[in-house]
């Protein structure tokens, strides 16, 4: 069974006009069809305003689909939203809490609303380095990073079958980001499914099994990260002594440039044929740049106006 | 009905309810005390000036009788302000305010239906209004007894007055909940019922002190309370029916609309 299965999910926001303003309709999501497998970490990528949060809010029943349908853990999002939320942990983007409560009171309150034991709370508190003193303070005194830590704990504390996370590492320092990735790894090893949206490509590349890329409300790619990266063109540079190696006709090699004792080229796919062709060559230095998801991502956005090689619309590498 | 949410709502509003209750107790004590201390003198003085005599009709008429003075306690702007905080501000903050802050999203990401949330908050609001109306009625009746007029009004009439007061503010609260459900921000959710209350109060006040505009009272929600009439002759079934109908309509609107509304990400 798929953890998430959507078919032609579409959301159009309509606002009623006034005598001075016309009716408006904005299509936030168009015909989104995707399947998230149980037990995988699935990244949902796109710049701000691309439809990531709309998708998440549709899956959790905050929004109603204009057309199409979806199931989460086998439950229909239109008719069984409560059951979906019973089995799902959720971390909204820019999470807000009741400021007058302490961190501990907030976590206990949300666990009570869940109606399930918070079996992972203590472990998560420990991993997020939240001290008892921190938890005893009112949330109004928390920094953004502290709030995010509480947000992560509340999303996972009852060990949900599926966690839906919207920009989960916003506000976390690098150390806490690492702890968070470790938590995701553990949850995955326990057979849990993670669906998270992000515009930080490095974290998606690091933790996700598969990614979907959305642009202007439309799915433009759905693929596994390893496969995506293996197909990326990478720059190869080698310094040699003696006779220059010949790379003509080597599978995956293109744009060969030779200057003095340095040979540069582009490698696509398996590096095996290249390494075979270099056998017997006296190589003093070899550089194969790692494939980056950023480049793959930028390729999908290259058609958009205003996208440059340094980043793109709201994307961080 | 969700018990953790109910307990949290009660706890979050406890201080507000206690402060309002203290204010209502003050009103409850002061009005009979004023009647006992200054009632006759004030009445004699006011009757000498026609304009003042006209103003003494405010709040249901005959301000310087015991029941008229008690009625004034229920119709006084201070009482209205205090009760209005629970009837208007509480519903606005409980849904639209929480939505604006982003905390509604965290609550609704739990296995709680929107109907469940609406019902829980409404029951909490009902409890607040019932408690505050009870504080006002109990304080007034105790104060009347303390100043030596215990036999002037029966306890049953006070019970009926409590019912009428609860019905009036539950009707207003129902409108406020419907506005709160329809709004993404607390401002409009407070503003719409507040304007409604203000217009009704103006109609009631102007109608009660200006004979040519007395017809305005018929269009005011506050005319349905008629505290003096309740104390003198009991609840009017027609008024009860109007208040129940009003509350039912707006409860129904909120109940129907809330699950159907889209809740986009807070701004």
Query: What pLDDT does B62 receive?
Result: 67
Q: Are strands A162-166 and A24-37 parallel, antiparallel or unpaired?
A: unpaired
Residue B51: CB atoms within 10 A of its CB come to 8
Query: What pLDDT does B56 receive?
Result: 65
Query: What pLDDT does B230 receive?
Result: 81
Query: What pLDDT does B181 receive?
Result: 95
**How far is Cα A58 from Cα A50, in angstroms, rounded to an integer?**
14
Q: Is A79 helix (H, G, I), strand (E, B) or coil?
A: coil
Closest to A40 in 3D by CA, of A161, A213, A139: A161
Closest to A240 in 3D by CA, of A267, A255, A258, A265: A258
**How far is Cα B174 from Cα B190, in angstroms, rounded to an integer?**
12
Q: What is the pLDDT of residues A221-280, one digit of tens each?
A: 888 887 777 777 788 999 998 888 888 889 889 889 988 889 999 888 888 889 998 888
A100 contacts on B by Cβ (under 8 Å): 12
Residues of A with CB under 8 A from a CB of B: 13, 53-54, 57, 60-64, 81-83, 85-86, 88, 90, 92-98, 100, 109-110, 112-115, 154
Q: Do A109 and B8 touch (CB under 8 A)?
A: yes
Query: What pLDDT does B52 receive?
Result: 65
- Residue B100 near residue B186 (C-beta atoms within 8 A): yes
Q: For B4, which of A63, A95, A112 is closest by C-beta distance?
A: A112
Q: What is the pLDDT of residues A89-121, one digit of tens each?
A: 999 988 999 999 999 999 999 999 999 999 999
The CA-atom distances, in angstroms, between A154 and each of A78, A163, A207, A304, B40 are 25, 11, 20, 38, 65
Query: What pLDDT does B60 receive?
Result: 59
φ, ψ (nearest 5 deg) of residue A292: -115, 140
- Residue B109 near residue A85 (C-beta atoms within 8 A): yes
- Residue A30 near residue A46 (C-beta atoms within 8 A): no
**How far is Cα A59 from Cα A163, in angstroms, rounded to an integer?**
12
Query: What pLDDT does A308 receive?
Result: 41
Q: Is A88 helix (H, G, I), strand (E, B) or coil?
A: strand
Strands (E) located in chain B? none
CA B219: distance to chain centroid? 17
Q: pTM higher than 0.90 for the full model?
A: no
Tell me the ipTM for this assembly.
0.83
For residue A113, the distance in angstroms to the closest alpha carbon of chain B comes to 6
Q: Mark B183-201 as b/e (b = at least 16 C-beta within 10 Å).
A: bbebeebbebbbebbeebb
B262 contacts on A by Cβ (under 8 Å): 13, 62-64
What is the rounded radius of gyration, in angstroms, for the C-alpha atoms of chain A?
23
**How far is Cα B131 from Cα B172, in angstroms, rounded to an integer?**
16
Q: Which residues of chain A carry a pLDDT beneath 70?
A: 296, 299-317
What string of pLDDT tens digits covers the 267 residues of chain B?
899 999 999 999 999 999 999 999 998 888 777 777 776 777 676 667 766 666 666 665 566 677 777 777 788 888 889 998 899 999 999 999 999 999 999 999 999 999 999 999 999 999 999 999 999 999 988 888 887 777 777 778 888 889 999 999 999 999 999 999 999 899 999 999 999 999 998 888 888 777 787 788 888 888 888 777 887 788 889 989 999 999 999 999 999 999 999 987 776
Instruction: Write the CB contacts of A21 (distance below 8 Å, at least 6 apart in sequence).
Output: none
Q: For A53, which of B110, B111, B265 is closest by C-beta distance?
A: B265
Question: How many contiguous H segments (helices) and E segments (strands) does chain A have?
Answer: 11, 14
Q: How many residues does chain B have?
A: 267
The CA-atom distances, in angstroms, between A281 and each of A239, A266, B111 are 10, 18, 65
A110 contacts on B by Cβ (under 8 Å): 106, 110
């Amino acid at each position: 069974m798929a953890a998430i299965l959507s078919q032609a999910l579409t959301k159009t926001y309509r606002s009623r006009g006034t005598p001075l303003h016309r009716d408006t309709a904005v299509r936030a999501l168009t015909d989104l069809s995707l399947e998230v497998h149980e037990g995988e970490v699935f990244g949902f990528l796109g710049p701000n305003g691309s439809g990531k949060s709309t998708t998440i809010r549709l899956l959790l029943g905050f929004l109603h689909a204009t057309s199409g349908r979806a199931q989460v853990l086998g439950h229909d999002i239109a008719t069984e939203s409560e059951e979906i939320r019973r089995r799902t942990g959720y971390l909204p983007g820019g999470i807000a809490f009741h400021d007058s409560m302490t961190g501990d009171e907030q976590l206990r309150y949300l666990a009570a609303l869940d109606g399930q034991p918070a079996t992972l709370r203590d472990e998560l508190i420990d991993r997020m380095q939240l001290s008892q003193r921190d938890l005893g303070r009112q949330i109004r005194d928390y920094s953004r990073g502290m709030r995010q830590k509480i947000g992560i704990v509340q999303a996972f504390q009852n060990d949900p079958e599926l966690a839906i996370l919207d920009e989960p590492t916003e506000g976390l320092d690098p150390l806490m980001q690492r702890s968070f990735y470790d938590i995701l790894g553990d949850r995955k090893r326990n057979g849990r499914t993670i669906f998270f949206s992000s515009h930080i490509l490095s974290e998606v590349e690091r933790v996700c099994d598969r990614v979907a890329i959305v642009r202007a409300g439309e799915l433009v790619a759905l693929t596994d990260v390893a496969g995506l990266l293996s197909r990326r063109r990478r720059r190869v540079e080698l310094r040699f002594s003696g006779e220059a190696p010949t790379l003509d006709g080597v599978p995956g090699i293109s744009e060969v440039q030779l200057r003095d004792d340095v040979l540069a080229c582009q490698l696509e796919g398996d590096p095996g044929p290249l390494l075979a062709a270099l056998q017997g060559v006296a190589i003093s230095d070899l550089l194969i740049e790692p494939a980056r998801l950023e480049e793959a991502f930028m390729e999908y956005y290259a058609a958009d106006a205003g996208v440059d090689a340094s980043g793109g619309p709201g994307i961080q590498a | 009905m969700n018990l953790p949410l109910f307990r949290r709502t009660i706890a979050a509003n406890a201080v507000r309810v206690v402060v309002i209750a203290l204010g209502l107790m003050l009103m409850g004590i002061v009005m009979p005390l004023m009647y006992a201390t200054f009632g006759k003198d004030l009445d004699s003085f006011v009757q000498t000036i026609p304009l003042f005599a006209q103003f003494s009709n405010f709040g249901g008429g005959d301000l310087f009788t015991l029941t008229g003075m008690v009625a004034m306690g229920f119709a006084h702007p201070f009482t209205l302000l205090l009760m209005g905080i629970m009837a208007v501000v509480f519903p606005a903050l409980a849904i639209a305010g929480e939505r604006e802050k982003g905390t509604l999203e965290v609550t609704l990401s739990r296995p709680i239906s929107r109907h469940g949330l609406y019902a829980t908050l409404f029951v909490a609001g009902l409890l607040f209004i019932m408690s505050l109306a009870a504080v006002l009625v109990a304080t007034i009746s105790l104060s009347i007894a303390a100043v030596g007029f215990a036999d002037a009004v029966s306890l049953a009439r006070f019970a009926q007055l409590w019912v009428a007061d609860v019905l009036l503010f539950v009707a207003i609260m129902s409108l406020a909940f419907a506005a709160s459900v329809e709004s993404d921000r607390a401002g409009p959710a407070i503003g719409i019922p507040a304007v409604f209350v203000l217009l009704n109060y103006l109609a009631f006040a102007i109608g009660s002190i200006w004979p040519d505009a007395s017809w305005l009272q018929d269009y005011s929600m506050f005319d349905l309370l008629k505290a003096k009439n309740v104390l003198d002759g009991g609840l009017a079934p027609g008024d009860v029916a109007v208040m129940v109908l009003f509350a039912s309509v707006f409860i129904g609107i909120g109940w129907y609309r809330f699950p159907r509304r889209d809740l986009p990400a807070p701004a």
